[in-house]
């Protein structure tokens, strides 16, 4: 291509003016761009030209120069071009080429095509980097959030910011394909109350809910599939609906309305929201699974407590009731026997009260979460001393507070609590011991007593769940569990686990919100 004093037919000035227009499209940058385009036309010896740049994310602009300043003017040598970058059309160009043109009209068109294509490519790269940063912020905001209601609202808020929409909603699908839950963003509480009941999935919302692909609508009010808005509903025009799924099944749909600051949602918006929807589906599924696990854990704990209560406390209270049935008759005939039986009943009830208090303490793990393993064991021992007649010793063998992951600490404390509960209820011991030692990188916990013991090899009935629970807890953290007991020789519970260093994942850290 030929050169001139302005540099490449003024194309260098054109590139600089395009960059200024892209970064701040206003009257001043528009004037510079018009001047630069006119310079290209003049330096090429053309009579005039017009160009319409329509390549988002480049800001749309139309420019005219020379004989084509008047859109109605007729030119004899008009040449038209569709300027391309790859397979993307970036502008429409028309040049007035008189016979005395200094340079090839095709060369001028090609130069403009290169300049505009380069500007579009740079703008697209900047947009892609911005989109990745926005996706990163949005996904980190929902990652690790395990409360279902909270993650649903966070998803709705984040996608509204991501797509630059005035309003956003997340519709959760029911088994029939309708809308089970409808979470909104951008609508105030008072406004929602005035609108009334959430939508049921009629009209466009139902169309989007039934579709497996994104849907974009220019104006909701003019779409034949609309159902209509209830009274007090804010005006909505442009619409983007994107499906949300996880593990191959549909979860719901994201709805975005009123692209900001104006206009329609674009293919780029659609692609961006689709990327976010993948992360949203995973976050929703994780929160649901966590909720199910929590419910299951509660059910299992209730069943365990029920079995233990029935095995110990309830049976003891029932036995007290039986022992007191004939006390009225004994009071007349054998008052000493009656007195002794009442005294034994009082002792049994006192023991039952202590057992109940131990159970209540066992249901309050937050008392132990404030300390590590050693502090937690000390708290358990203090409570045990208050509620039982058994002396208990804590031995740490000069081991300082041990920094373990929360799962290991929690399960070891739960095992110790179960073992101490068994000592209080079954062992008839006068002394007990809780010992912690570090053996070649492994942590060993030993809970022992000097009680009556039992045959450790004898098969025990299904109502005796304490040992089963302890074995299961040890297994969950990869610990070895050993039971040593014999009639008249007391009992020893030994748990040995390889120590793991704590990590951010163990600490339960989540992304920024």
Q: Is the pLDDT of residue 3 over 50?
A: no
Q: Is 169 left (phi over 0), alpha (psi -120 to 50) or beta?
A: beta
Structure tokens at 185: 């963003």
Q: How far is CA 348 from the centre of its chain?
A: 51
3-class secondary structure, 456: coil
User: HSE on the CB side for 329, CA within 13 Å?
Assistant: 4
Burial label for 19, CB within 10 Å (0-12, 13-18, 19+), is middle
Q: Are 9 and 40 in contact (CB under 8 A)?
A: yes
Q: How far is CA 466 from the centre of its chain?
A: 36
Peptide bond into 261 cis (omega under 30): yes
Q: For position 402, what pLDDT does the model report? A: 64
Q: Are 381 and 396 in contact (CB under 8 A)?
A: no
Contacts of 346 (CB under 8 A, 6+ apart): none
Strand order in the sheet with 165-173: 179-185, 165-173, 249-259, 239-246, 215-217
- Residue-wise pLDDT for 477-499, tens only, equals 889 999 999 999 999 999 999 87
Q: For position 214, what pLDDT does the model report? A: 93
Arithmetic mean of pLDDT over the chain: 82
The backbone torsions φ and ψ at residue 485, rounded to the nearest 5 degrees and listed phi first, read: -160, 155
- Identify the band that residue 358 occupies on the pLDDT scale cut at 50, 70 and 90: low
The fold for domain 8-133 equals: Beta-Lactamase (3.30.450)
Cα distance between residue 73 and residue 511, in whole Å:
61
Q: Is the pLDDT of residue 240 over 80?
A: yes
Same fold across 8-133 and 370-513? no
Q: For position 216, what pLDDT does the model report? A: 93
Q: Is 177 left (phi over 0), alpha (psi -120 to 50) or beta?
A: left
Share of the chain above pLDDT 70, in %: 86
Contacts of 157 (CB under 8 A, 6+ apart): 168, 185
Report the CATH number of the 370-513 domain: 3.30.565.10
Facing residues of 380 across strands? none
- Exposure pattern of 39-65 as b/e (b: 16+ CB <10 Å)? bbbbbbbbbbbbbebebebbbebebbb
Burial label for 16, CB within 10 Å (0-12, 13-18, 19+), is middle
Q: For position 202, what pLDDT does the model report? A: 73
- Residue-wise pLDDT for 386-407, tens only, equals 667 788 888 887 666 666 777 7
Contacts of 283 (CB under 8 A, 6+ apart): 142, 143, 145, 151, 155
Q: Which residue is listed with tokens 């309830």?
A: 314
Q: For position 112, what pLDDT does the model report? A: 94
Q: For position 512, what pLDDT does the model report? A: 33
- Residue-wise pLDDT for 12-34, tens only, equals 999 999 999 988 999 999 999 99
pTM for this prediction: 0.53
Cα distance between residue 246 and residue 278, in whole Å:
7
User: Could you write out the DSSP letters of every residue in 463-498?
Assistant: T--HHHHHHHHHHHTT-EEEEEE-TTS-EEEEEEEE
Range scoring the smallest mean pLDDT among 204-208, 257-261, 391-395, 449-453: 204-208
- Residue-wise pLDDT for 45-101, tens only, equals 888 999 999 888 888 999 999 989 887 766 677 899 999 998 889 999 999 988 766
- Residue-wise pLDDT for 278-288, tens only, equals 999 999 998 88
Cα distance between residue 270 and residue 122, in whole Å:
21
Share of the chain above pLDDT 90, in %: 32
Q: Is the pLDDT of residue 300 over 80?
A: no
- Identify the band that residue 367 occupies on the pLDDT scale cut at 50, 70 and 90: very low
Name the residue ranges covered by the structural domains of the chain: 8-133, 143-292, 370-513
Facing residues of 80 across strands? 94
C-alpha closest to that of 453 among 487, 503, 413, 479: 487
Q: Is the pLDDT of residue 220 over 60?
A: yes
The fold for domain 143-292 equals: Beta-Lactamase (3.30.450)
- Identify the band that residue 254 occupies on the pLDDT scale cut at 50, 70 and 90: very high
Strand order in the sheet with 480-485: 391-395, 431-439, 442-449, 491-498, 480-485
């Amino acid at each position: 291509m030929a050169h001139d004093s302005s540099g490449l037919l003024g194309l260098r000035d054109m590139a600089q003016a395009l960059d200024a227009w892209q970064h701040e499209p206003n009257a001043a940058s528009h004037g510079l761009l018009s001047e630069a385009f006119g310079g290209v036309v003049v330096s090429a010896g053309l009579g005039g030209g017009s160009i319409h740049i329509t390549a988002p994310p480049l800001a749309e602009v139309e420019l005219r120069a020379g004989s084509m300043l008047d859109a109605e003017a007729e030119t004899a040598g008009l040449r038209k071009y569709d300027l391309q970058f790859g397979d993307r059309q970036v502008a429409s160009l028309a040049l007035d080429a008189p016979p005395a043109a200094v340079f090839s009209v095709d060369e001028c068109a090609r130069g403009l095509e290169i300049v505009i294509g380069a500007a579009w490519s740079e703008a697209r790269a900047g947009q892609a980097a911005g989109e990745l940063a926005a996706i990163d912020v949005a996904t980190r905001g929902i990652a690790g959030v395990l409360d279902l209601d909270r993650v649903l609202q966070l998803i709705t808020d984040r996608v509204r910011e991501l797509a630059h929409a005035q309003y956003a909603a997340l519709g959760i699908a029911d088994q029939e394909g309708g809308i089970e839950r409808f979470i909104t963003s951008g609508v105030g509480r008072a406004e929602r109350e005035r609108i009334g009941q959430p939508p049921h999935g009629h009209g466009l919302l139902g169309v989007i809910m039934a579709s497996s692909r994104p849907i974009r609508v220019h104006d909701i009010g003019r779409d034949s599939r609309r159902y209509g808005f209830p009274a007090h509903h804010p005006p909505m025009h442009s619409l983007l609906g994107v499906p949300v799924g996880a593990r191959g099944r549909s979860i719901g749909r994201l709805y975005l309305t009123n692209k900001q600051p104006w206009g329609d949602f674009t293919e780029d918006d659609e692609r961006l929201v689709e990327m976010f929807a993948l992360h949203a589906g995973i976050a929703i599924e994780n929160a649901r699974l966590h909720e199910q696990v929590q419910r299951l854990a509660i059910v299992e704990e209730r069943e365990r407590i029920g079995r233990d209560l029935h095995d110990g406390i309830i049976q003891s209270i029932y036995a007290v009731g039986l022992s007191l049935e004939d006390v009225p008759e004994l009071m007349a005939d054998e008052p000493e026997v009656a007195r002794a039986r009442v005294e034994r009943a009082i002792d049994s009830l006192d023991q039952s009260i202590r057992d109940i208090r131990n159970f209540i303490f066992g249901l309050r793990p937050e008392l132990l979460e404030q300390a590590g393993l050693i502090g937690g064991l000390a708290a358990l021992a203090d409570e045990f001393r208050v509620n039982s007649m058994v002396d208990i010793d804590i031995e740490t063998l000069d081991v300082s507070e041990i920094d373990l992951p929360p799962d290991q600490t929690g399960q070891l404390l739960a095992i110790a609590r179960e073992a101490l509960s068994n000592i209080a209820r079954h062992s008839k011991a006068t002394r007990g011991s809780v010992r912690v030692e570090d053996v070649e990188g492994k942590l060993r916990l030993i809970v022992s007593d000097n009680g009556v013991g039992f045959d450790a090899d004898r098969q025990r009935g299904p109502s005796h769940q304490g040992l089963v629970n302890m074995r299961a807890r040890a297994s969950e953290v990869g610990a070895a569990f050993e039971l040593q007991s014999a009639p008249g020789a007391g009992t020893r519970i030994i748990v040995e686990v390889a120590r793991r260093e704590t990590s951010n994942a163990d600490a339960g850290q989540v992304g920024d919100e």
